[in-house]
Amino acid sequence: MRPADIVDREFEWTSLEDFATSKAPGLRVGLLYGRRRTGKSFLLRRLVRAVGGLYHMALEEEPYPALQRFAEHVADEVGVPAGALRFSDWEQALRTATGISASGTRGGVPLLVIDELPYLLSHPPGTSIPSVLQMLVDESRDNPGPPRRVIICGSALAVMSELLSGTKALRGRAELDLQLRSFEYRTAAEFYGVDDPETAFQLHAVLGGTPGYRDLLPFIPTRPEEIEQLVTATLLNPSHALFGEAAYLLREDPRVTDRALYHSVLTAIAGGARTPTAVGGVLGRDQRSLSHVLDVLTSSGFVVRDDDLLLQRRPRLRLADPVIAFHQLITEPRLATFEDRRTQDGWRDAAAGYESALLGPHFEQLARDWVRLYAGPDILGGTVGEVGSTVVNDQRGRAQHELDVVALAAGARRQANNPLIRVLGEAKATTTLRGPGDLARLERIRDVLAERGAQVQQARLLLFSRRGFVPELIELARNRSDVELVDLQRMYGP
């Protein structure tokens, strides 16, 4: 049964509980990973508390003390004095620990959890842990014995995701491969206890849905006016942990060696360079020389490549983490100002960029998330599949339209010749109220796509506005079944 103090995470909890309590014989290995502060350790400690087992948190320490500290945890599990148990290597340690868990010395399920495994993998003999687990799993397949479960966990996405790749030792041996992601925007608002949609939107735009940040905040804003007070006290305060969070996240990936180059790529993307070619242009480099850098940033979860749903064209790049986006857009360009404690000067200088470059793209992404997660078939005209964006070239109108929201029908393939499109949408976070002209633009885009053979005759036209709509547009939408107006209240509503 999921503990009451866990917010959301129904799927993740069920997956972990089912794995840990399975009666299948033999040794089974599972992975749980996710970026820093997503609540992995919190979840695993609750799991061990609920079902039993041994939980061990690895630390960043020398190999020998790390092995002996593990021995002390195992000794405590079997009830022997500290120092009475010693291991010569990790094969002996893991054989002993999994054997003890199988015997159920203290009751509960036969479970061993090793949290923050990447710390142990950084130096020998800890580097042998995946191979030892492979050997134990293979031995168990020949002679299953009683149930035994091992969950390994880590925050370094690059390290954890590599454990099951290619010819790595655990390839084909792990039964559970679970990534713990940040909360989506509605769950984040619930987690923070923020009821006001505008406040919740801006809070998510600067902190995202990472639950671990809540404990670092001096207060939870309840009104939009308090967002400035919050960011100046935390993200823009050199004395606060969140001021250097972006740099810390980047340092967690061992593949990031030239930090100046990686920061420059992130800054270019944050500043509007949405393709590898554009990033190369900003940095004065050939795009091919940036392929490895972009691959690292993508696999580490810092950058997302969004394919155009309708066209065969290069994917567009965006920053996945709001804290990093805030740092690259707001803090980094004015670093000296904030380090000199001239916070208000820096914040006033950043105000325009905060609205257009940070809140604008974030609102567009939330509009896509709303279609994907919350808008039902009655609103969308049917069940939707992939949700994304596209660029529509209107040769007759001599215009290029960037369409913020496109939803294909369930089962429709992206970039097909005649896709069945359920939704065409546009999202604006500006202070201007949306009017009939915005609807006319969507209708024109629908006509252009129809001329190309796309199935858009029944497509719903969705207009998203952070500020609202003029009365004339509201009246038009009221009399049309193919038009939906979505403001922040509706995006955060039931």
The full 3-state SS of 32-61, as one line of letters, equals EECCCCCCHHHHHHHHHHHHCCEEEECCCC
Residue 485: CB partners within 8 Å, gap ≥ 6?
A: 434, 462, 463, 465, 469, 473, 474, 477
Question: What is residue 105's predicted lDDT score, i.e. its pLDDT?
Answer: 45
Sign of CA dihedral 358, 364, 368, 373: positive
Q: How far apart are CA 159 and CA 170, in angstroms?
A: 13
Q: What is the CA radius of gyration of the chain?
A: 26
What are the C-alpha distances in Å from 222 to residues 227, 322, 382?
9, 20, 36
Q: How far apart are CA 152 and CA 137, in angstroms?
A: 14
pTM metric for this prediction = 0.91
Question: What is residue 101's predicted lDDT score, i.e. its pLDDT?
Answer: 56
Q: What phi and psi, each to the nearest 5 degrees, are found at residue 288? A: -65, -30
Q: How far apart are CA 136 and CA 91, in angstroms?
A: 9
Question: What is residue 247's predicted lDDT score, i.e. its pLDDT?
Answer: 83
The residues of the chain scoring below 50 in pLDDT are 104-106
The beta-strand segments (E) located in 192-246 are none
Q: Please report, to the nearest 10 degrees, the dihedral formed by the alpha carbons of residues 110, 116, 118, 120 taken in order.
A: -70
Given a contact cutoff of 8 angstroms between Cβ atoms, the answer to whether 42 and 7 are in contact is: no
Q: How far apart are CA 450 and CA 104, in angstroms?
A: 65
- Of the candidates 345, 407, 403, 400, the residue with the CA atom closest to the CA atom of residue 381: 407
pLDDT, tens digit, for every residue of 394-420?
Answer: 888 777 888 999 999 999 888 888 899
Give CA 343 to chain center in angstroms: 29
Q: Tell me which residue has tokens 């299948």.
A: 24
> Measured in Å, how far apart are the chain's first and last C-alpha atoms?
26
pLDDT, tens digit, for every residue of 431-444?
Answer: 899 999 999 999 99
Mean pLDDT of the chain: 91
Question: What is residue 102's predicted lDDT score, i.e. its pLDDT?
Answer: 52
